[in-house]
Amino acid sequence: MNIPRYTEYKDSGVEWLGEVPGHWGVVPLKHLAEFINGNAFKPAEWVEFGIPIIRIQNLNGSGEFNYFDGEVEERYLVHDGELLFGWSGNRGTSFGPFLWQWNEVCALNQHIFRVVPFDSDKKSLYWTLKAVTTHVEDQAHGIIGMVHITKGDLGTINVPVPLQEEQSAIAAFLDRETGKIDALVAEQEKLISLLKEKRQEVISHAVTKGLNPDAPMKDSGIEWLGALPEHWKAGYVRYFARLESGHTPSRQHPEYWENCTIPWFSLADVGQIRNDEVIYVYDTKELVSELGLANSSARLLPKGTVMLSRTASVGYSAIMGCDMATTQDFANWVCGPELISEFLLFVMRGLRNEFNRLMMGSTHQTIYMPDIAKLALGVPPLPEQSAIVAYLDQQTAKLDTLTAEAQRAIELLKERRSALISAAVTGKIDVRGMAT
């Protein structure tokens, strides 16, 4: 898209803005709108019916609300179409401006501003705040997770102010062009979802039906497995691998956590590397001592052990690349002579639907060890296991490459979106003739 520039520019005197069109003004945000912080509703005040309370997760699209049944000051009430600003949230999601869309009056919780424009066009101010959000996030570069800004700091940020008719033109242009980009992002996200489904299907089929479509089949006697190749064995995983639960040595004994040399895998490690492309795990965030293992139910498990998260990140699986221990959040299998670790790993990665069926709990989901002990599989001869593993390594690598390409496309589209917003809002491009 070839978009012209304005014919005349001036120095804005503001570093993040640079030059702006010569006829534009530059003022602090506090001159354009009032920023009203939400009320600090206490959890003890939440009820099941009443006025919905807008919290950070609701800005992210969650339709699950807490409610308040008391009197709410008018300044905290939010109507459909109002402009909000999450001033403490995750970059790229809950931090920044939102045009609230809900068909009933809501109450605003703290950490969110209700933005009341003085004279500015509301939609134009929304796009200005999107550009400001990018600037604030750039200033917070290196800070992981939550980003926040105070009302005072936000209000003093200088922003450009076009003429009223230009504000409307810029808003119309950005509505249309970002809508196109958002549609492309949605297509790539759908593609990623389909690739993940395909990956799951390829794995599940290979570890239950094998690679020979003409192989004679037999009933496995196990509901989720269905028919297996006739020459395969079938049974509980624990028939072919020793099942070990992890454990956490007591934190009440500091000496258990001193002079540590043994890798100790926990849910924190899953948060860092949760990725089905990772097969072997060598490093952990935390170590435990030999004394800690000796005085607890924790076990030092050998290289090649297959571990499965059964709590919170249910279904994550990997192979120990070295001797290590795990927390009680993991079920671990030490494979016997009839079972290859890599084949068992793919079996675990093909059990997503079974894990979903077995999970218990609403907020903190888990699979209990008695159910883990009943997990079953089909076991081909060792040469066939190796052939299946080689095939799945090849097929999943292809799918992972396509997924990575789609993810990169999303990143580029989002970068383009952000750059387009910044260029239009700061006047680096003249979109007056492109509004319609």
Residue 123 to residue 421: CA distance in whole angstroms: 13
Res 242: pLDDT: 96
Q: Mind listing the pLDDT tens digit of every residue in the chain (436 residues)?
A: 688 999 999 999 999 999 999 999 999 999 999 999 999 998 888 888 899 999 988 988 888 899 999 899 999 999 999 999 999 888 778 899 999 999 899 999 999 999 999 988 899 999 999 999 998 888 765 455 678 899 999 999 999 999 988 999 999 999 999 999 999 999 999 999 999 999 999 999 999 999 999 999 999 888 778 899 999 999 999 999 999 999 999 999 999 998 899 999 999 888 766 667 788 999 899 999 999 999 888 889 999 999 999 998 888 999 999 999 999 999 999 999 999 999 999 999 988 888 888 888 766 789 999 999 999 999 999 999 999 999 999 999 999 999 999 999 999 999 999 999 999 999 999 998 876 6
Using DSSP's 3-state secondary structure scheme, residue 280 falls into strand
Q: Residue 224's pLDDT is what?
A: 78
CA 44 vs CA 293, 344, 429: distances in Å: 42, 47, 51
- Do 344 and 258 lie in one domain? The reply is yes
Same domain, 147 and 248: no
CB-hemisphere CA count at 13 Å for 344?
31
Q: In this predicted structure, what is the pLDDT of residue 21?
A: 96
Is residue 210 within 8 Å of residue 388, measured between CB atoms? Answer: yes
Query: Cα separations (Å) of 405 from 185, 188, 344?
Result: 13, 9, 28
The Cα 89–Cα 96 span in angstroms is 8
β-partners of residue 297 are none
In sequence order, which residues have a C-beta less than 8 Å from that of residue 319 and are 6 or more positions away? 279, 280, 281, 304, 305, 306, 307, 341, 342, 345
Task: Evaluate whether residue 401 is within a structural domain.
Answer: no
Q: Which residues pair with 9 in a beta bridge?
A: 21
CA distance 221 to 234: 8
**What are φ and ψ of residue 283, in 5° steps?**
-115, 150
Q: Do 371 and 246 fall within a single domain?
A: yes
Q: Which domain holds residue 90?
A: 9-161
Does 203 reside within a domain? no
Q: Return the residue matching tokens 């040595």.
A: 249
pTM (predicted TM-score): 0.83
User: Read out DSSP for 81-139?
Assistant: T-EEEESEEETTTTSEEEE---SS-EEEBTTEEEEEESSS-HHHHHHHHHHHHHHHHHH
Domain stops at, among 138, 161, 184: 161
Among 161, 189, 219, the domain boundary falls at 161
Residue 297 lies in a domain: yes
The phi and psi torsions of 111 (rounded to 5 degrees) equal: 75, 5
Per the CB < 8 A criterion, the answer to whether 18 and 24 are in contact is no
Task: Please list the alpha-helical segments (H only) found in 301-435.
Answer: 341-349, 352-358, 369-372, 382-425
Instruction: Please tell me the total count of domains within the chain.
Output: 2
Q: Are residues 247 and 120 in the same domain?
A: no
Residue 150 lies in a domain: yes
Identify whether residues 149 and 268 lie together within a single domain: no
> Do residues 316 and 327 lie in contact, with contact meaning Cβ atoms separated by under 8 Å?
no
Q: Is 433 a domain residue?
A: no
CATH number of the domain bearing residue 63: 3.90.220.20
Residue tagged 């000796």 (tokens) = 294
> Is residue 327 domain-resident?
yes
117 found inside a domain: yes
What was the pLDDT predicted at 60?
A: 82
pLDDT given for residue 53 in this prediction:
93
Task: Let me know if residue 132 belongs to a domain.
Answer: yes
